[in-house]
Amino acid sequence: MTLQAIKYSRGKLEILDQLRLPHEKVYIDIGTTQDAWIAIKSMQVRGAPAIALVAALSIAVDVMHLSRDELQAVTAQQFAATINRHLRHLVNSRPTAVNLADAAAKLKAVVDTAANESNADSRTVMTAYLQTAERMLIDDVQDNARIGKHGADWLLQHTASNSSGSQVSVITHCNTGSLATAGYGTALGVIRSLHSSKSLHHVYYTETRPYNQGARLTGFELIHDGIPATLVTDSMAAALMKTKGQSENIIGVIVGADRVAANGDTANKIGTYALAVLAKYHGIKFLVAAPRTTIDMTTRSGAGIVIEERPELEVVNIKGPVVQIDPLTREKEIVEGSTAEISIAASNTCAWNPAFDVTPAELIDGIVTEQGVVEKDGRGRFQWDKVFHVDLLDQAPAVGEAKRIDMLPDGITPQVPVSDQLTSSENKSVIDQR
């Protein structure tokens, strides 16, 4: 049984606190949109698909707590305006991942349409919102399973070293599994598919500094599922490809994505770009696994992607449970309930901490979606018509004009102050007044 990072039933939402993994498995309640904003910003929940789902479902839970009198006190248009304001607030929590803005745009369209129906009231708007948000949760799991199969089949079919039908090994980065989605995973879904078909020999996963999502989360999932795997530091990737590429039959690097631009440039966890360069040099396939909601056709290239920068402390400090080591056997034992944060750099160290980097399209061999694997044509352009049934690249805005996060119809920007979202008296509603 795979891990479940999001537990939802109508009126109740719980998420697995990923800051406490892998040593503690604790679910926390998300009862309001502000709870979700904090959980997303603090990375208690992370992964582009999971962020979008938690944001959408937090509003679903919030509105379900309204009484009949509270619902009757506002018009359909007022209720829709309130939901849209909360969507804008949530989009501001993490600007790089496009799934959140995409989900918000779809939900906004739904509530606006419902509010403008004849005889609409707040309850009909709420019903339309709930049905759409809940459908997103179901669709994500189904889409991930399709991504897994498409990616596994493509890797096995497009790798000359696998012509004998022998088992293969892969490398992955960050966490792209059940913890980053509604279930199964994107890049880790491809790995799960390889494992279930008995095609997988071994997985090498990077620790993913500075937040260690690979070491903490991907390792946790792989061990949980009994998938043979080995942790490596980020700086070991080149040596791994050079010394074990042939003996371990390493055929591909598989990563997820937070945003894919119209030309195929891909923003993903910091360190992805370096892996792509190394894969190209060593003749290893480099595959991006992401649902279509991650592909941002309004941004022409990676130059238009906003890159989130996080605090210096995440680089110079590290946090985890206290470990006691036997001086003779060197066996370790975790002190239950203990947590410590320690410095790993000299005092007054300055650190740069971009959360993501952008991998150029020319380094990417394929982009796996729930509709299939997108490849490049003879001109080196990704053929999106396979998954979107239309070539939109020429419709994308030029670099500098990219809409980025403000893809919502009324112009959401990534830098809206939290205080403005929460204290504005304009369109004040019952949700805000509770």
Q: Tell me which residues are annotated as active site.
A: 258
Instruction: Give me the amino acid identity at 101.
Output: A
Q: Where are the beta strands (DSSP E) in 35-187?
A: 168-172
How many CB atoms within 10 Å of residue 67?
A: 10
How many CB atoms within 10 Å of residue 338?
A: 12
For residues 43 and 37, the answer to whether their CB atoms sit within 8 Å is no
What gap in Å lies between CA 290 and CA 176, rounded to an integer? 9
Would you give the distance in Å from CA 274 to the centre of its chain? 19
For residues 30 and 206, the answer to whether their CB atoms sit within 8 Å is no
Residue 409, Cβ density class (10 Å: 0-12 exposed, 13-18 middle, ≥19 buried)? exposed
Task: Report which DSSP code applies to 362.
Answer: G
For residues 74 and 429, the answer to whether their CB atoms sit within 8 Å is yes
- DSSP of 151-203: HHHHHHHS-GGGTT---EEEEE-S--STTTSSSS-SHHHHHHHHHHTT-EEEE
User: Which residues, listed in sequence order, are joined to residue 317 by a DSSP beta bridge?
Assistant: 343
> In this structure, which long-range contacts are made by residues 317-324, counting pairs with CB atoms below 8 Å and at least 24 apart in sequence?
317/341, 317/342, 317/343, 317/344, 318/210, 318/212, 318/342, 318/344, 320/23, 321/23
Interhelix angle 76-91/48-64, rounded to 10 degrees, is: 150
- DSSP of 258-278: SEEETTS-EEEETTHHHHHHH
What gap in Å lies between CA 322 and CA 336, rounded to an integer? 8
Tokens read off for 107: 């939900």
